[in-house]
Amino acid sequence: MNGNDYINLKFKNDNISAINKPKGTHILAEFYGIEESFGLTENYLKEKMSLFVKQANLFELGNIFHSFGENSYTFVICLAESHFTLHSWPEDNYLTLDIFVCDYKKDNKEKAFDLFEKVAKFYNPKHIEKKIIYR
């Protein structure tokens, strides 16, 4: 560690109250029992998820879909506000969801909740475990 590192750490400690303010909303969820939604095509999933992003008034910058075969996939949408990801395990009828939106210049948490509700309704899981983190 050199002298400049110490100065940077000291600056952060001096401004800790500003740093510790929540900057966004992070929704982490697990969907159990989603067998009805498997068998959907990549294009259909991309269209639906992109539509849900738009309907939630979030801005999609781009997306990546990777298929592992047999309805197992990772899907990432990069948002101007941050990101939205899905990961599926069809052998377990299980899917994870991750939505993070930052609150740069405005509070976007309701948009994150809206997107979550749209995706949950689409997959129609038998059980959801959800964690919300304001960070």
11 pLDDT band (50/70/90 cuts)? low
Give the chain's mean pLDDT.
90
pLDDT tens string 34-45:
977 778 899 999
pLDDT on residue 16: 63
**Full set of structural domains in the chain with CATH:** 21-134 (3.60.90.10)
pLDDT on residue 17: 65
15 pLDDT band (50/70/90 cuts)? low
pTM of this prediction?
0.85
In order, the DSSP letters of the chain are --HHHHHHHHHHHHTHHHHTS--EEEEEEEEE--GGGTT--HHHHHHHHHHHHHHTT--EEEEEEEEEETTEEEEEEEESSEEEEEEEEGGGTEEEEEEEEE-SSS--HHHHHHHHHHHHHHH--SEEEEEEEE-
